[in-house]
Chain A
Amino acid sequence: MEWSHPVGVWVGAIGTLALFSLIYRENRLYRLFEHLFIGLAAGYTIKAVWTETLRPQWWVPMTSEGRWPWVFALFGGALFYTIFTRKYNWMSRISIGALLGFAAGQSFQATANVYIPQIRGSFKALWVTRDMLPPGSLVTPLGQSLNNILFVVIIVSVMTYFFFSFEHRNKALMTTARTGRLMLMFAFGAIFGSTVMARMALLIDRVWFLMNKWLGIG
């Protein structure tokens, strides 16, 4: 079955232009489509939560597979709604607490898995010899040594910048932290630079949508 309909394309295209108009100034058309957007998004979430989560993970196991204890999940969910009452609203904290607890408990494994390899990856030899480089490497041992030294210097200086529990009065400390700050700016510039292309790609995709799918040009 088709995923597209001319009427839908028209609404989509006019909405696109309306949302774009914000860059000129806020206006009535923008406001209208902003509200339509938020409404559709909420409707879609209702649909998605039911079909993607509640029905397969809760309703079907409970009612068709005989896993009746899933009813307790409804109880847990219902406790959130006590927030609207003065008398019972403390109970919402039971469910909130459970969610927070689960998230907290996972943090051990997550921290280990994300950061241990990065710690290990920071063990860089400051003096590299030819046999330490992978075969066929184009970098010279001296070049790699310099890279590695720079790598370690940046890690140390940036981490130093983020020490909070003492004043950066000591001259060496001040210089290190200042280097860290400058390195951060360099890194942020690199991120900014690599983002521009992504944003342009999105705009081009939209202009192409307007030109090709709506107006049939190209």
Chain B
Amino acid sequence: MTHASDRWESALLVALLAAIVLFTIITAQRGRKYFIRRIPGLNAIDEAVGRATEMGRPILMVPGLSGLGVVGLQALTIFSYIIKTAANFGNRIMMPVADSALYTVAEEVVRDSYAAAGRPEDYDSNSVYFLSDRQFAFASGVAGTIFREKVATSFLFGDFFAESLIFAEAGQSVGAIQVAGTVQTTQLPFFIASCDYTIIGDEYYAASAYISREPTLLGSLVGQDYCKILVLLVILIGVVGMTIPQLGKDWGFIQWFTLK
């Protein structure tokens, strides 16, 4: 569909999803408390940072290949939390970036995180650097860094494609503890095979709320849950409709979601 008018009901469902999220964000900002369950992989972050402190070797953070957008920003949000923790322990960090627009934001995020941890003087401007926007040139640089620096811990969050396994196996070879998460579902099996902890599916988007406990983000996350329930309901109604022969494909409800 190029416009909402191609199928109003479908467009309305999307608008409704957005509205639900906005609604729970607003209620959260007004002080309503929301609960979220434990997400195992995310608890591992502190442990991984601690490991690097013990070993006295650097922490690697890779925000994926994508540019300035939803996924890359989410990665930086997670990293800023990690950096604040790492700054307190005096760990050295390294963050190679693959997109120049995201790089500008990344540098600011790292600098701010050090400042927020009360150690602005520890910020090293060489720790965040643009490496290459070419997938495998970036991969060769990151893999080389992992081997040379024998990184103690590597955090891989963002949009990863085939290079995911290069990073994960390189980290494995040097004995790094690795925590990874990506929205690229096809790369998850490789992270699961080679990393110590893997964030799956929309746990990736839940991470910032989980870590920061910021009301806006918690509200949003709960809204997302409601949205998933709504989608699930729509699917189940559709399933019932298809199963009852008297309704079938031509039933109005099913037609609402049938794009030409």
Interface string of A139-165 (1 = CB under 8 A from B): 000000000000010011001001111
Among A40, A96, A120, A159, max chain B CB count under 10 A is at A120
Is B115 on the interface with A (CB-CB < 8 A)? no
Interface magnitude class on chain A? 35 or more
Q: Which of the candidate stretches B30-38, B46-54, B84-92 sits at the interface with the other chain?
A: B30-38
Chain A residues with CB under 8 Å of chain B are 19, 22, 25-26, 30-31, 33-34, 37-38, 40-42, 44-45, 80, 83, 89, 92, 96, 99-100, 103-104, 108-109, 111-113, 115-117, 119-120, 122-127, 129, 152, 155-156, 159, 162-168, 184-185, 188-189, 191-192, 195
Q: A162-B228, A192-B189 are in contact. Are A122 and B200 (CB under 8 A)?
A: no
User: Which 4 interchain pairs have the tightest Cβ spacing?
Assistant: A123-B238, A41-B137, A26-B147, A41-B134
Distance to closest chain A CB from B242 (angstroms) = 4
Among A33, A99, A109, A123, max chain B CB count under 10 A is at A123
Please measure, in the bound complex, the distance between the C-alpha atom of A159 and the C-alpha atom of B257, giving whole angstroms.
20
Chain B residues with CB under 8 Å of chain A are 1-2, 4, 7, 10-11, 13-15, 17-18, 34-37, 39, 68-70, 73, 101, 104-105, 107-108, 131-134, 136-137, 140-141, 143-144, 147-148, 170, 185-186, 188-190, 192-193, 200-203, 206, 221-222, 224-225, 228-229, 231-232, 234-236, 238-239, 241-243, 245, 254, 257-259
Q: Which residues of B contact A122 (CB under 8 A)?
A: 235, 238-239
Among B73, B221, B236, B242, max chain A CB count under 10 A is at B242
Select which of B7, B10, B243 is within 8 A of A126 by beta carbon: B243
Q: Which residues of A contact B133 (CB under 8 A)?
A: 41, 45
Please measure, in the bound complex, the distance between the C-alpha atom of A115 and the C-alpha atom of B259, giving whole angstroms.
11
Chain B: which residue is nearest A45 at the CB level? B133
Subset of 24 A-B contacts with CB under 8 Å: A22-B140, A41-B133, A42-B137, A45-B134, A83-B107, A89-B108, A100-B69, A108-B11, A108-B15, A109-B1, A112-B14, A115-B14, A116-B10, A117-B259, A119-B231, A129-B245, A156-B232, A156-B236, A162-B202, A162-B228, A164-B37, A165-B35, A165-B37, A191-B188
Q: Which residues of B contact A159 (CB under 8 A)?
A: 228, 231-232
Q: A19-B140, A37-B140, A188-B189 are in contact. Are A112 and B104 (CB under 8 A)?
A: no
**B242 close to A31 (CB less than 8 A):** no
Please measure, in the bound complex, the distance between the C-alpha atom of A124 and the C-alpha atom of B248, giving whole angstroms.
10
Q: A116-B259, A125-B243, A165-B35 are in contact. Are A42 and B132 (CB under 8 A)?
A: yes
Q: A116-B13, A127-B243 are in contact. Are A165 and B147 (CB under 8 A)?
A: no
Q: Give 8 new A-B contacts, CB below 8 A, not counting A99-B68, A156-B236, A164-B39.
A: A31-B144, A34-B144, A38-B141, A99-B101, A103-B70, A108-B15, A112-B4, A125-B239
Please measure, in the bound complex, the distance between the C-alpha atom of A127 and the C-alpha atom of B247, giving whole angstroms.
13
Please measure, in the bound complex, the distance between the C-alpha atom of A155 and the C-alpha atom of B232, giving whole angstroms.
8
